Every structure is written in C-alpha cells, then in structure tokens.
Amino acid sequence: MEDKKLSTLVVYYSLEGNTKMMAETISKEIGGDTLRLETKKAISPHGVMKFIRGGGQVIFKKEPELVKYDINPEDYDVLFIGTPTWAGNFAPALRTFFSKTNLKDKKIALFNCNGGQRGKTFENMAKSLEGNEILGGIEFDVPLRNDREGNIKQAKIWSKEIISKIK
C-alpha cells in the first residue's frame, strides 16, 4: 500500500515581521503551503500604541475580524501555527482563527517569536486546539534582531524533526 502524502500548512500572524520570517523559513523547508492571517483593522507596528491596542485585545480576549483568505485550513493534515507573544499570550488574530476554524484530529506544531518570554503562549494555544495532537513547540527571540541566521537554521532543523515524527 502506498503512503499517503500529508498536506502541510503554515499558519501565522506577524506584526513586525519576525513571525513572518520564521513561517516562511519553515514553509520553504517542509514544502508546505502558507496562510498569513491579517486583521481588517491593522495595528501599526510602530510606537507605543501597538502595546496598548495589542495587549488590550489579549487581556479582553478580543477576536478581531480577519481579512478573508482563500485557503481552507481544515483540508490539511499537518499545521504549523506561529504567533508573536503579546502580554504573555498568542496574538488575538489567532484567537479569531481558532474560533472560526474547525480544527480536529490534526497534527499541529507551534512556534512563537518573543522578546525573551513566551509566557503561557503554547499552553493557551494547546487549550484552544483541543482535539488535535500537539507535536511540539519552539520559540525564537526577536529573530530579525538576534542571531537571524542561527534562528533560521534552528527553524529548519526543528521543522524537519517535526515532519520526521509523523512520516
């Protein structure tokens, strides 16, 4: 019997470009499709307001409206899901994604970008993804600023390890 090829999707939200860089690295390394989540009401990546607006959305568990996308994540077997850490948690765009997408019986790997502390990002994502198998998680410390090449290398190794676990 022939092995079924697993379909893979990298889903992410990125404000400043760190998570975008890691998502694109992972997607290229594993040959997966990519879905960038964007909110209809964008937050500026500059200035102190990003902390006030973004942090407030996290604290009050807001679900910002997302720009419509043409990929159906439910059609994929394996998802890599990435987020920046905001107020010790995942970005609100992912809260919307989790509530609007029926993800069950998927294999999921988590990644985040942060400035030194991931807080409860992975734990909270796992709670939002109950009914799926969480394959692991990795965090990157502001990879656009801190050891860019080292973080890229680490993402490549990690993503290949995740894929090798399920083949």
Query: What are the tens digits of pLDDT across the range 79-136?
Result: 999 999 988 899 999 999 999 999 999 999 999 999 877 679 999 999 999 999 999 9
* pTM metric for this prediction: 0.91
Q: Which domains does the chain have, with CATH numbers?
A: 8-166 (3.40.50.360)
Question: 97, 103, 75: which is closest to 13 by C-alpha?
Answer: 97
Query: What are the tens digits of pLDDT across the range 18-77?
Result: 999 999 999 999 999 999 999 998 776 666 555 656 665 666 577 789 999 999 999 999
Reduced 3-state DSSP string for 61-107: CCCCCECCCCCCHHHCCEEEEEEEEECCEECHHHHHHHHHCCCCCCE
Per-residue pLDDT band for 1 (boundaries 50, 70, 90) equals very low
Place of tokens 């799926």: 132
